């Protein structure tokens, strides 16, 4: 009578297994880089989260955190080769690579819990949970770098720095281009 149900239960239990997790070995070391950082944006963000989606947990818990992040952008210095430099007497043309975002940094001391509301049947947010929420904020900040104008400012600053540096080398006319687009003509 119960045999089919037992077989069915056996099949369901047998099918519930954890998929093997593929782990990649990380190599931590000193590495050479060639980044010319030309801009730093310091931004603020409120991290607002509500833990009320799990149906079997009684009561909600909410958290409000403030964070300050530093975004750094600039140009890849190694991408500047001899073919990107043209010199004619006292006139020089330099083609720089387009700017990229190098880092988003949220320092531990710049992440603060402003408010927490915990239901009577719930536990407080653990350190790991708070870090996971802040990691989401970090991703949102990183994704909005372009709309904040970080890359545009990085290119403008790179152009200004290169221009001043080349004038100090004795060039009277300096032309800086990014890719194929002329940025600044003097």
Partner 1 sequence: MRSGWTRYILLITTVLVVLLLLNMKWLPSFKNIFKQQPVTIDNTPILIKEINELAQLCTITAFDEVVADSVVIKMKSPVERLLPDLSVFGNLPITGKRLVIIGKGKLIAGVDLKKLNAQSIFVQGDSVSLLLPHAEILDTIMNPSDFETFSETGEWSSEAVTAVKVKARKKMVEKALHQGILNRANVRSIALLENFLRGFGFKKVTVKTMD
Nearer to partner 1, 29 or 181 (CB): 29
Shortest separation between residue 97's beta carbon and partner 1, angstroms: 13
Closer CB to partner 1, 78 or 186, in the complex: 78
CB of 176 to partner 1, least distance (A): 14
Cα 113 from Cα 65, distance rounded (Å): 4
Strand order in the sheet with 111-118: 100-105, 61-76, 111-118
CB of 37 to partner 1, least distance (A): 4
Residue bearing tokens 């004038």:
167
Strand partners, 68: 44
Smallest distance from partner 1 to CB 184, Å = 15
Nearer to partner 1, 103 or 177 (CB): 103
Residue where the block lists tokens 């890719």: 179
> Please, is 81 exposed, middle or buried when counting C-beta atoms within 10 Å of its C-beta (0-12, 13-18, 19+)?
exposed
Structure tokens at 59: 């009561």
Closer residue to partner 1 in complex, CB, 107/179 = 107
């Amino acid at each position: 009578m119960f045999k089919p149900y037992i077989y069915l239960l056996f099949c369901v239990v047998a099918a519930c297994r954890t998929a093997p997790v593929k782990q990649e070995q990380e190599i931590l070391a000193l590495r050479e880089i060639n980044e010319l950082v030309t801009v730093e944006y310091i931004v603020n963000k409120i991290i607002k989260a509500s833990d009320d989606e799990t149906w079997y947990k009684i009561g909600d818990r909410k958290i409000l955190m403030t964070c300050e992040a530093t975004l750094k952008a600039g140009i890849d210095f190694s991408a500047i080769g001899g073919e990107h430099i043209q010199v004619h007497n006292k006139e020089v043309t330099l083609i720089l690579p387009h700017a990229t975002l190098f880092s988003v940094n949220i320092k531990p001391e710049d992440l603060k819990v402003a408010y927490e509301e915990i239901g009577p049947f719930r536990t407080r947010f653990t350190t790991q949970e708070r870090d996971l929420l802040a990691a989401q904020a970090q991703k949102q900040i990183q994704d909005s770098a372009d709309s904040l104008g970080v890359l545009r400012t990085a290119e403008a600053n790179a152009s200004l720095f290169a221009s001043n540096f080349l004038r100090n080398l004795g060039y009277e006319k300096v032309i800086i281009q990014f890719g194929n687009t002329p940025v600044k003509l003097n």
